[in-house]
Structure 1
Amino acid sequence: MNILIVDDESFVRRSLSDMLISAGAGWTVAGEAENGLDALEILEREPVDLVISDIRMPGMDGLKLAEEIRGKHPDTEVVLLTGYQDFTYARQAIQYGVRDYLVKPSSVEDILELVSRLDGQLEKKKQEARLLKLREKNLLEKRLHDLLYGIPLPYFDESIIPPHTSLQVLTVLHRGEALSPGWNESILYQAVRNIAEDWFAPSGQAIGMIEEQEAPIVLFLNEPEEAADGPEADALRLERDRNTALRFMSELASILKCDLCLGLSDRHGSLDQLSAAYRESLEAARLARTLSATPVAHFREVTQQTATPAQMEEHIRGKAARRVISLMIEAMERRLDEELSLKAIAEELYMNPTYLGRIFKEDIGESFSSFLTRLRMEKAKALLDDVTVKVYEVSERVGFKDPAYFSCIFKKHVGVTPQDYQKQHRPTPSTSGGAAASRPV
């Protein structure tokens, strides 16, 4: 934890600094300041977690400093240390978001206990922020994955899409005969994704994904609007994008030592064009795989001779169907305790129920309702393995409000009633214990 000490008395600053450093808790004194104005200058230069400040100081007092910190550095905590026991100060301190208020002279133990407590709270807050950021990134990847295949974005998730002036998709493929020992395509594409997300950061935000045989990267570009338009300006943008992609591929080659190629889509202005951009990048990547002079191809280089629209559409359609079905099964497993229907799942996925029913039957080989019942029976068997669980409780947890109907369906699929199934899976009593173990039951 980085701490800034603010007091107009040099002795107090020195004493606090020595006390905190010698505490052995790994705390760092980021600086010392005589007043609030000097403290604000340090805050602009240094990352500070905690400010310990006197109230009465020349130039800018501690209360004004706390107010400034609240507006400009909201993640920085403030503790006021003062010799003035005045409730007005304490009330103002709370108003400005001050974490605590100590009266001079405070004991060493009181100060160290307070700083230690704040350190624990700050660390917990940072961990929660890191976890939230990771969850948001995972959700963003999932939503973009869906958008690649034309699955609509739920309106309540629109806020997670990074701000952008345009978007573009790059698809990276391995084009060598074989991977080096220790590599497989999944590990390779994970490395590509990680490198891409750092490498493209200066020009926007890159979100990489891992597909079955490629690594698509969605670029959310934040570049100033170009006044120039027309064929010449378009050609310049295309050349710039190609050069950027070539530098990126050079970086990948130097780090990964693998033979990779990249397909580059056109730039697009709206999120609903992401699926089209993905198709463009795939076609370009397949062209790049055949080239020996360069590892990069742009969609506009794809000609009628090199394009295979029918195969590409079939490829995309198959992957899209598999993605949709995995989302359906995920929703079914999550909502087994509800009275589920195909319509309810379709509403969750913002898709047409007739379409979902058709592709589910084609891919899985059985209807939605039949598969759902099978899922419920498998879950019921797992629950019934615990002999302390009542049959009516199992019935409710797998979506049946009527235990009698549940028992009927269970027997039809498993061959025995839930009660008999549970008896069959009851633990066998131990045979150890001599004559008592052989007594008739």
Structure 2
Amino acid sequence: MKNILLVDDERWVRTALKWTINKLNLPIHVDHECQNGLEALDWIKQNNVDLVITDIRMPIMDGLTFIKQVRDLDLNVDIIVISVHDEFQFVQDAMRKGVTDYLLKPIDDEDLKKCLGNWLKKGMEIQIDSRNVEESFPLSTIDKVLQYIQETPLGEINLKEAAKKVHVNPSYLSQLFKQQVKRNFVDYLTELRMEEAKKILKTSTLRISEIAERLGYSDIAYFSNTFKRMTSFSPSEFRKVKDE
């Protein structure tokens, strides 16, 4: 069963989508609903989901910003966007950010069924490819990935580029990395970034925003919250304690 997150500021749209998805009798479950991108981003950082269906125009944080933030986190999640006919330029932008597909409002039941069916089919093909690769792919793959991580600036590392280096799809690499290293790729990278952040805070006067950017975080608040979660100090508190 695949899990879906619905993101739309209009409650009736979310309700209609959920009702239609349940009616389609596909191996899909609507796990959660959010009314804007910021709420969805907070939720997805703490929960696993296979697919996000998100509107483009929303208050607080729009769909395009939300998509960029999700991609910055290197989360292994597919995204389908919802738009109206006069927003095609936004759809193009979303597709460049790695969106799987799009749906036009008002959403037709058949279009939704076809869209979700294609997504499920693509997922099955990836799983089959991954199993075939796993039977013959040498375990030295992870050594190559670890070497890539060691040789690349931390702010430039992401799962997609790592997968390109070893010629596999990101989904397969994510699974293999967890099997061999016993940690998720994102968690492993986050630990390295936080260790580097501590070194920079101790040895430089760079602003917190500059450190965050250097380590690949476009959201300073997210960087600071992650640092505090892993060290019990905010970046500014850590720097102050170091100087005492």
Ranges in structure 1 where 5+ consecutive residues have no aligned partner? 141-156, 164-200, 206-441
1:69 alignment partner AA: V
- Give the Cα–Cα distance (whole angstroms) in 2 for the partners of residues 40 and 68 of structure 1: 8
1:102 alignment partner AA: L
| 1:13 corresponds to | 14
Give the C-alpha shift of residue 40 in structure 1.
1.3
Q: Which has the higher helix share?
A: 2
Give the C-alpha shift of residue 11 in structure 1.
0.7
| 1:51 corresponds to | 52
Contact 1:30 1:46 in 2 (8 A): no
1:93 alignment partner AA: A
1:88 alignment partner AA: Q
**Shift in CA distance, 204/64, structure 1 to aligned 2, threshold 3 Å:** closer
Contact 2:55 2:81 in 1 (8 A): yes
Cα deviations by residue, 1:197-226 (Å, 9 ceiling, x for unpaired): xxxx99967xxxxxxxxxxxxxxxxxxxxx
- Give the Cα–Cα distance (whole angstroms) in 1 for the partners of residues 141 and 124 of structure 2: 30
| 1:2 corresponds to | 3
- Give the Cα–Cα distance (whole angstroms) in 1 for the partners of residues 24 and 141 of structure 2: 47
| 1:65 corresponds to | 66
- Give the match's secondary structure for 1:85: helix
1:113 alignment partner AA: K
- Give the Cα–Cα distance (whole angstroms) in 2 for the partners of residues 204 and 81 of structure 1: 37
1:51 alignment partner AA: V
Relative contact order, higher structure (CA 8 A, sep 6+): 2
Structure 2 matches for 1:153-232, cutoff 5 A?
Answer: 160=143
| 2:97 corresponds to | 96
Contact 2:142 2:180 in 1 (8 A): no
Structure 2 matches for 1:94-133, cutoff 5 A?
Answer: 94-133=95-134
- Give the Cα–Cα distance (whole angstroms) in 2 for the partners of residues 22 and 80 of structure 1: 20
- Give the match's secondary structure for 2:89: helix
2:16 alignment partner AA: S
Give the C-alpha shift of residue 123 in structure 1.
2.0
- Give the Cα–Cα distance (whole angstroms) in 2 for the partners of residues 55 and 203 of structure 1: 38
Give TM-score scaled by structure 2 length.
0.55
1:34 alignment partner AA: Q
| 1:36 corresponds to | 37
- Give the match's secondary structure for 2:124: helix
Alignment identity in percent? 30
| 1:26 corresponds to | 27
- Give the Cα–Cα distance (whole angstroms) in 2 for the partners of residues 52 and 135 of structure 1: 35
- Give the Cα–Cα distance (whole angstroms) in 1 for the partners of residues 8 and 179 of structure 2: 40
- Give the match's secondary structure for 1:91: helix
- Give the Cα–Cα distance (whole angstroms) in 2 for the partners of residues 204 and 86 of structure 1: 43
1:83 alignment partner AA: V
Give the C-alpha shift of residue 86 in structure 1.
2.7
**Shift in CA distance, 127/73, structure 1 to aligned 2, threshold 3 Å:** farther
Give the C-alpha shift of residue 42 in structure 1.
2.2
Structure 2 matches for 1:37-436, cutoff 5 A?
Answer: 37-136=38-137, 139-140=138-139, 160=143
1:4 alignment partner AA: L
Give the C-alpha shift of residue 129 in structure 1.
2.6
**Shift in CA distance, 92/25, structure 1 to aligned 2, threshold 3 Å:** same
- Give the Cα–Cα distance (whole angstroms) in 2 for the partners of residues 77 and 53 of structure 1: 11
1:11 alignment partner AA: W
2:63 alignment partner AA: G
Ranges in structure 2 where 5+ consecutive residues have no aligned partner? 147-177, 183-244
**Shift in CA distance, 104/204, structure 1 to aligned 2, threshold 3 Å:** closer
**Shift in CA distance, 23/162, structure 1 to aligned 2, threshold 3 Å:** same
Give the C-alpha shift of residue 85 in structure 1.
1.8
Aligned positions, number:
151
- Give the match's secondary structure for 1:75: coil
- Give the Cα–Cα distance (whole angstroms) in 2 for the partners of residues 158 and 114 of structure 1: 34
**Shift in CA distance, 69/97, structure 1 to aligned 2, threshold 3 Å:** same
**Shift in CA distance, 132/43, structure 1 to aligned 2, threshold 3 Å:** farther
- Give the Cα–Cα distance (whole angstroms) in 1 for the partners of residues 116 and 179 of structure 2: 37
**Shift in CA distance, 66/59, structure 1 to aligned 2, threshold 3 Å:** same
